[in-house]
């Protein structure tokens, strides 16, 4: 991949933002390879993601950050500069369903996902051989029904020990406790097998079948303390009809789930997701 620095920011909207940022990049010798902006009229909020060829700058990244700080303060920005050469460290979590985990491991192995998958954590042993086939650490951490906190304490320890930048729930069928949600805000990514906000919670295909839906879907979102209500990153749908049983919905839905999760994770890895409140702007 081309080595770039990603300048990602959001702030109250006003005139002159793009001009001031662009002028600094130009004066620093920067060559912009990609630029995305969005102005949200309802909230009067501005979002931007700019990629600059790293080798084009006539200052170091640290020097550029120092030069950018006055602009960030002037416009009251939430901002970060990300080096594309530094791979994000990802922990995958899974229960018994294989399709999302297998898909992510294959995409990672084929270099489609630019990250470092550091380990897989599961509350079952079932996925060990699949994970270790790819040379990735596997940790079986049981979540006991009567004392879940012990298991989640170990999950938290492992995530910390691997210095994870993102945690992906690839059909991990346990509710993440509030403390972990807060600690890793906008870093825990979940795939929910329905088109949220419809059919929140358990057994969404059963809920959809009882409702007689004609579309089923999947939603990739950040995990928050409110079950299945976190900021949405990616979604997609598939048409079904009255002749499809619950088992058919689940079978058909698996393809949507793994595709949506992969797209959502890729957007996160490439710093294309900007969270504002409980909503997101996702740049292509």
pLDDT by position in tens, the chain (length 284): 799 999 999 999 999 999 999 999 999 999 999 999 999 999 999 999 999 999 999 999 999 999 999 999 999 999 999 999 999 999 999 999 999 999 999 999 999 999 999 999 999 999 999 999 999 999 999 999 999 999 999 999 999 999 999 999 999 999 999 999 999 999 999 999 888 778 787 888 888 888 998 988 999 999 999 888 899 999 999 999 998 899 998 899 999 999 999 999 999 999 999 999 999 999 99
Q: Which of 75, 84, 77, 81 shows the shortest CA–CA distance to 8?
A: 81
Residue 59 has a CB neighbour count (10 Å cut-off) of: 14
Residue numbers annotated as active site: 228
N-to-C CA span, the chain: 17
> What predicted TM-score, i.e. pTM, was given to this entire model?
0.93
pLDDT of residue 194: 83
CA distance 158 to 170: 17
Please report, for the chain, the start and end positions of each structural domain, with discontinuous segments joined by +: 4-83, 88-282
CA distance 212 to 240: 9
pLDDT of residue 47: 98
User: CA 213 → CA 140, 165, 225, distances in Å?
Assistant: 37, 37, 28
Cα 193 from chain centroid? 16
CATH 3.30.413.10 fits 4-83, yes or no: no
CATH 3.40.50.170 fits 88-282, yes or no: yes
């Amino acid at each position: 991949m081309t080595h770039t620095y990603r300048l990602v920011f959001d702030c109250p909207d006003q005139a002159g933002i793009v001009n001031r940022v662009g002028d600094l990049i130009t004066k620093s010798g920067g060559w912009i390879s990609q630029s995305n902006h969005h102005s949200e009229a309802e909230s009067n909020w501005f979002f931007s993601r700019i990629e600059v060829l790293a080798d084009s700058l006539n200052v170091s990244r640290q020097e550029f950050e120092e030069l950018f700080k006055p602009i960030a303060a002037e416009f009251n920005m939430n901002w970060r500069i990300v080096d594309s050469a530094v791979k994000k460290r990802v922990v995958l979590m899974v229960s018994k369903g294989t399709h999302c985990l297998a898909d992510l491991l294959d995409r990672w192995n084929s270099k489609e996902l630019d990250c470092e998958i550091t380990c897989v954590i599961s509350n079952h042993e079932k996925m060990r051989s699949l994970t270790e086939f790819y040379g990735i650490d596997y940790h079986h951490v049981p979540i006991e029904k009567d004392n879940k906190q012990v298991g989640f304490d170990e999950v938290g320890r492992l995530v910390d020990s691997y210095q994870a930048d993102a945690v992906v729930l690839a059909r991990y069928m346990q509710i993440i406790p509030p403390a972990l949600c807060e600690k890793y805000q906008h870093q825990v990514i979940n795939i929910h097998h329905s088109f949220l906000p419809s059919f929140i919670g358990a057994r969404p295909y059963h809920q959809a079948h009882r409702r007689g839906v004609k579309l089923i879907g999947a939603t990739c979102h950040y995990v928050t303390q409110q079950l299945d209500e976190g900021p949405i990153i990616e979604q997609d749908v598939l048409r079904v009809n009255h002749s499809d049983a619950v088992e058919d919905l689940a079978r058909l839905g698996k393809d949507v789930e793994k595709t949506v999760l992969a797209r959502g994770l890729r957007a996160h890895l490439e710093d294309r997701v900007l969270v504002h409140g409980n909503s997101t702007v996702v740049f292509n």
